[in-house]
């Protein structure tokens, strides 16, 4: 996915996410099992982008967070229960169960789901009546 598809910057995405979840950068980093909050802090300051590993950690810990919000800044930030379950099923995440599997398999699944979701969006857009 190229940066042209981003609705807002990664810094803004992270600020909005932390605000919505009511976490500080330090508390959020701790929740995601990072040893330091610098990963989150660098994103907030615009030095780094949100990595696929970070997206995987967030969605595994907070399955209600919308994948496309993290990836491109598209609303909503938080999914309703049905959409949360659908996203979890697509990503192979067990909702309600602590999931800390950040393996290559999880990473590859997230990359594949991005391609699949893009194809679905393209298909749906092609079916819209002008």
Tens digits of residue pLDDT in 54-86: 998 999 899 999 999 999 998 899 998 888 888
Peptide bond into 76 cis (omega under 30): yes
Report how far residue 17's alpha carbon sits from residue 97's, in angstroms, rounded to the nearest whole number. Answer: 22
pLDDT at 103: 47
Instruction: Walk along the chain (130 residues) in steps of 10 and give the mean pLDDT of each run.
Output: 67 96 94 91 96 92 93 91 83 62 51 70 69
- Residue 22 φ/ψ region, left for φ over 0, alpha for ψ in the -120 to 50 degree band, beta for the rest: left
pLDDT at 106: 52
């Amino acid at each position: 996915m190229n940066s042209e598809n981003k609705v807002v910057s990664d810094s803004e995405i992270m600020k909005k996410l932390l605000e919505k979840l009511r976490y500080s950068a330090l508390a959020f980093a701790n929740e995601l099992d990072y040893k330091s909050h610098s990963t989150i802090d660098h994103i907030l300051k615009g030095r780094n982008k949100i990595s696929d590993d970070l997206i995987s950690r967030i969605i595994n810990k907070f399955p209600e967070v919308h994948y496309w919000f993290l990836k491109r800044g598209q609303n909503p930030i938080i999914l309703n229960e049905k959409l949360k379950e659908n996203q979890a099923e697509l990503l192979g995440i067990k909702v309600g169960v602590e999931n800390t599997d950040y393996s290559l398999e999880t990473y590859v699944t997230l990359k594949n789901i991005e391609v699949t979701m893009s194809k679905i969006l393209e298909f749906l857009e092609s079916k819209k009546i002008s």
